[in-house]
Homo-oligomer: A and B are copies of this chain.
Amino acid sequence: MMAGVSANADAQRSAAPPPELGRAARRSASWTIAHTADEADRPSGSQSIQRALVLLNLVGVLARDRPEGVSLAELTRVSGRPKASVRRVLVALVAEGYVEQDPGTACYRLGLQAGVLGELAGHRADDLGEASTDSLIRIADTSTDTTFLTVRHGSYGVCTRRQEGPGPIRNYALAVGDRHPLGIGAGSLAVLSALSDDDIDDVLASTATTRGHYPGFDDETLRGLVRRSRRDGYALNDGRVIAGSWALGVPVHDAAGRPVAALSVAGIAERFDPPQCDELAALLHTEARSIHAALTRSQESRPVRGRP
């Protein structure tokens, strides 16, 4: 019990360009990495719910580029949980409409309610998303690379926006919905580096077991990366998550000055030699400041508590 829970994201990001992979190339994940706040410190009585929510997210992420959906087998494999459990949860999710099952293939994908929830959530004032879209587009256009918005959630970073640049190179290392411990990836590292030393200690402690599944991201390495990021003024991911995929990120601060998100740009290694890095960082910083300003504005223009 309480072993490796759940899973995630780019475990299995199918290499898209070559459609010629033999059937031998298993699409399934070979590692199961945690997808949620470290399971250990959960005090309370709701693990079935937490498992369900994690699985829901997992269905969304895995089925993202597959209209067919995800197979039960793959979900059990990736989530690292017994098949019967996964299925029981899936049945519940289907019953509520958050997941639907393809009657033909028996595969699972997000359902009606997931869309409704999104509609409801989108309708809500999503200040950050709102404020960042323009910036993302501008960055993607001028850099010609793929741009991301990573939002801090506890000790983890969640990719909430992704904007393709006009360039020919597509990046599959990060997609909307992916979640990684703070420090893994450029945007995530940018947020981490912007935290206080005390907060960093907490984060590292909290994500320790999760990070066990990311080779080469032990505490010391991460602290080193934080130091470098602070010195340089930007966070650089030199291909340590996925070989050959580099990225550069800077933090975004909310109205209260807390680093709540990050902008990042990803591309191939060749695009990240020092002079280009500085140029990119300047661009990102400008946009990050612009988002911060927008957040500040929208904050003070809403002192309304309760009804007029």
C-alpha gap A116/B302 in the complex (Å):
25
Contacts A19-B307, A124-B63 hold; do A160 and B110 have CB atoms under 8 A apart? no
Whether A153 and B97, one on each chain, are in contact in the complex, defined by CB atoms closer than 8 angstroms, is yes
Residue of B nearest to A55 (CB): B49
C-alpha gap A146/B93 in the complex (Å):
31
Q: Does A185 contact B (CB under 8 A)?
A: no
C-alpha gap A112/B117 in the complex (Å):
11
Whether B114 and A117, one on each chain, are in contact in the complex, defined by CB atoms closer than 8 angstroms, is yes
Q: Pick from A50, A117, A177 the residue with the most CB of B within 10 Å.
A: A117
Distance from A292 Cβ to chain B, minimum over Cβ atoms (Å)? 19
The stretch among A36-44, A193-201, A232-240 that forms the contact with chain B is: A36-44
Question: Interface size for chain A: under 10, 10 to 19, 20 to 34, or 35 or more residues?
Answer: 35 or more
Q: Pick from A52, A119, A160 the residue with the most CB of B within 10 Å.
A: A119
C-alpha gap A88/B57 in the complex (Å):
20
Instruction: Give 7 CB contacts A-B under 8 Å.
Output: A45-B88, A49-B92, A54-B96, A110-B117, A114-B121, A118-B121, A119-B177
Whether B56 and A117, one on each chain, are in contact in the complex, defined by CB atoms closer than 8 angstroms, is yes
Whether A53 and B93, one on each chain, are in contact in the complex, defined by CB atoms closer than 8 angstroms, is yes
Q: Does A215 contact B (CB under 8 A)?
A: no
When A and B form their complex, which 10 residue pairs have the shortest distance between CB atoms, in order from nearest? A118-B118, A60-B120, A46-B92, A114-B121, A115-B121, A49-B92, A53-B96, A110-B121, A49-B52, A119-B176
Given contacts A49-B49, A67-B124, A111-B121, 5 further A-B contacts (CB under 8 A): A97-B154, A110-B117, A113-B158, A116-B160, A123-B176
Residues of B near A63 (CB, < 8 A) are 120, 124
Residues of B near A275 (CB, < 8 A) are none
Whether A105 and B305, one on each chain, are in contact in the complex, defined by CB atoms closer than 8 angstroms, is yes
Whether B50 and A95, one on each chain, are in contact in the complex, defined by CB atoms closer than 8 angstroms, is yes
Q: Does A125 contact B (CB under 8 A)?
A: yes
Residues of B near A116 (CB, < 8 A) are 57, 60, 158, 160, 176-177
Residues of B near A123 (CB, < 8 A) are 64, 176
Residues of B near A114 (CB, < 8 A) are 117-118, 120-121
C-alpha gap A241/B117 in the complex (Å):
24
